[in-house]
Amino acid sequence: MNTKQCKRILLSGEEHCRVVYCEECGVAELEVGALSLRLEVEAFETLHKVMQQAVSKLQALSASREVNQFLRNLGNVH
Rounded Cα distance between 27 and 58, Å, is: 29
Domain residue limits, the chain? 8-75
Q: Distances from the Cα of 35 to the Cαs of 16, 18, 47, 66, 77, in angstroms? A: 10, 11, 16, 34, 50
Q: What is the pLDDT along the chain (78 residues), one digit of tens a residue?
A: 566 788 999 999 999 999 999 999 999 999 999 999 999 999 999 999 999 999 999 999 988 887 778 777 777 666
Query: What residue spans of the chain are helical by DSSP H?
Result: 41-75
Query: What is the reported pTM?
Result: 0.71
pLDDT at 65: 83
Radius of gyration of the chain (CA): 20
- Contact yes or no for 39/27 (Cβ under 8 A): yes
